[in-house]
Amino acid sequence: MIKISPSILSADFARLGEELAALEAAGADYVHVDVMDGRFVPNITIGPFIVEAAKRATSLPLDVHLMIEEPERYIGEFADAGASIITVHAEATRHLHKVVQDIRQRGARAGVSINPATPVSLIKDILGDVDLVLIMSVNPGFSGQSFIPSSLEKIKETRALLDARASSAELEVDGGIKAANIKEAADAGADVFVSGSGIFSTGEYKKTISEMRARAGE
Ligand code: DX5
Ligand code: ZN
């Protein structure tokens, strides 16, 4: 069963509560929260304060994607704010195993992510310790970019590694996913799909999410 995780980076933040309610009514599985620090990526976005507010406004699990340097500094704050999944970038920390352990000890599910130019081999040794793997299919920092086609090979490679160890970790793809290309990513082996502009720009969240789900399962 696939999952759709709309990225609120493309939401109207003046109406965040309404947007979250609309996503819930539209059948979203997770809410993807893009946290950016202006160092790991050029953009600055959301902190624990907004995650805590979002937590009060929705019962959907918050899928928090940390695009920040040394994420170990903030795991406690995001866990306390109500994150269900906390994903860190392998490129952003020297002590990935320790961070992943910390996330789980604080009661959240642990994810690891890699950028488009980072090989899957970098995360091979951590796969047994994570609940989710996030393959970036754009360079992180902004919504509305085009899907990088070579990401499909990385999804396939990760799927094969997870299957080989009979892992139940979710395989998420993030960046440039729309109803028009979701099937390719699903066929490559992804089972959680982040989409920002691909959902919010349509204005019809329920119709778009249903269409994505149908196309991914075709
Ligand atoms: C990019 C973020 C994505 C982004 C997705 O840095 O991690 O989650 O918001 O937006 P779209 O779906 O528009 O590419
Ligand atoms: Zn993201």
Q: What's the pLDDT at 218?
A: 75
Q: In whole angstroms, give the CA distance from residue 179 to residue 120.
A: 26
Active site residues: 34, 174
**For ligand 1, is residue 140 a contact (CB within 6 Å)?**
yes
Tell me the pTM.
0.98
**For ligand 1, is residue 139 a contact (CB within 6 Å)?**
no
Q: What's the pLDDT at 12?
A: 98
Each residue's pLDDT tens digit, 41-90: 999 999 999 999 999 999 999 999 999 999 999 999 999 999 999 999 99
What's the CA-to-centroid distance between 65 and ligand 2, angstroms? 5
Burial class (CB in 10 A: 0-12, 13-18, 19+), 77: middle
Within 8 A by CB and 6+ apart from 119, the residues are none
- Which regions in the chain score pLDDT beneath 50? none
How many degrees, rounded to 5, is the angle at CA 171 between CA 9 and CA 137?
50
